[in-house]
Structure 1
Amino acid sequence: MEKEIELMVFIETFKELNPVAQALCATGFTWFVTALGAATVFSSKKIKQKLLDGMLGFAGGVMIAASFWSLLAPALEMGEGGSFPAWVPASVGFLTGGLFLRIIDRILPHLHIGLPIEEAEGIHTRWKKSILLVLAITLHNIPEGLAVGVAFGAAAAHHPGASLSGAVALALGIGLQNFPEGMAVSMPLRREGISAAKSFWYGQLSGMVEPAAGVLGAAVVVSSQAILPYALSFAAGAMIFVVVEEVIPESQQSGYADFATLCCMLGFTVMMILDVALG
């Protein structure tokens, strides 16, 4: 009974926070889950490739579902009754989000999991492979943190298509798929002979960008509600770019494509249930 009362007090306290603080708390949670995934290096030096591919597929499914149910659908609903057709803000924001990530992808030095350092993308640099791997997952986490922040900002605006519970559902979904992302950084580093402590540090470091992106997203939409549908769809476009360009291809390259695909569908279903049930 005491635990239930404490939980209710926590929920009420959380509701009273301003949306920027809520976004900070939520993305702090997603960062923590990334750290939990990275912490698996202390119990094991390697992970079965099939399991890693399945977890990456699951993460991709969560991100795809979140892009529609938590971001695009509310953006379309908010666009109704405006000076443009409802699909215009959503389309413009979605494509701009993808273009934004494409530009970062071209500029930011990073290396996808399982590839030799010679195939690093972005501006040429002599940075170590470990740093490039961290930056690759960091690239994933920018749109994730932004999406959570924008969702809390939209909920604070009391639009019919957005709600606090929906924003919480999004944070939970992003947190779920951050666990394998933390592992995806720390485990390869551990296999290369880097100490468990350093591998963990680099793994959790990749999630550090989420609170910054979340606070920025919430602050922007709170300051100007007119850009809400654009901001929501922008985050969706950025996430879809990451899923199609990086997450799904990485889950398909080691011979477990069918298993990874089924896990992707499972991740999509879990996120859909979370959003519909809580939102």
Structure 2
Amino acid sequence: MKKSVSTACATIAALALTVAVAPAHATTTDNQRERPTKAAQQAGIHQMGDAYAGWRSHTDAGRASAALTRTSPTLTATKTLGIDVSAYQGNVNWSSQWGAGVRWAYTKATEGTYYTNAYFAQQYNGSYNVGMIRGAYHFANPGYSSATSQADYFVSHGGGWSRDGKTLPGMLDIEYNPYGSTCYGYSKSGMVTWIKTWLNEYKRLTGRDAPIYTTTDWWSTCTGNSTAFNQTNPLWIARYASSPGTLPGGWPYYTMWQYTSSPIDKNLFNGDITRVRALAYG
């Protein structure tokens, strides 16, 4: 009996130690875990939840060289500088970013239905508190759970919206799969349906049409270059170069453009600050 009690105590102690040193990620059971691809690991994604907007462009597999990540487009008065952040950046010095001219920001809130960003409060509230117009985004994992459940999860964990003039509608980050096949095992029509279901659920819950973050290559490959969303959902295009290049899906223009990750993910809003506020107000 003493030996059993001792063994049980040792087991409990070991479990307590495991919990104490575990990183701040949402719990995922072992049979639900997916190993990140080699390219994802090179981009700093070591477990489910680590993904972030534009992760593929941080690697050679994403065809982004060091030269391209240093490329900056010409800044004009009709473009507004913004950044997007995730747990990858940790605590952000928002006063410094404001001083550098950043006027809007998006923070990763969730991924799939298994992860919430441990730095979300510091990032989401910090940007707001220095005067930026802020929004939250969801990294979609269509291969993990349903579109409806992921939209619900996002809204319940920071992805909501209010008409305060400083909160942008939540963004759907739909791009390369860091955990497996590029298109998450979906056919082109199946992927379009998944995206449409997510967007419809988000709008049902918030009243807003969510921006879509993607790349021209992924959108063409995985949706067949679908034109189903170009009249309703703002396009956030990712391309690390001096121009956004050919836009996917029949969108006549981009609303936001992620053009570099050096030294942080930088973006241009296709309009001055009054247009950013207009998107926030809805």
Q: Give the TM-score of the pair, scaled to structure 1.
A: 0.26
Q: Relative to total residues, which structure has the larger strand share, 1 or 2?
A: 2
Q: Relative to total residues, which structure has the larger helix share, 1 or 2?
A: 1
Q: Whose relative contact order is higher, 1 or 2, with alpha carbons under 8 Å and at least 6 apart?
A: 1
Rg bigger for which structure? 2
Q: Give the TM-score of the pair, scaled to structure 2.
A: 0.26
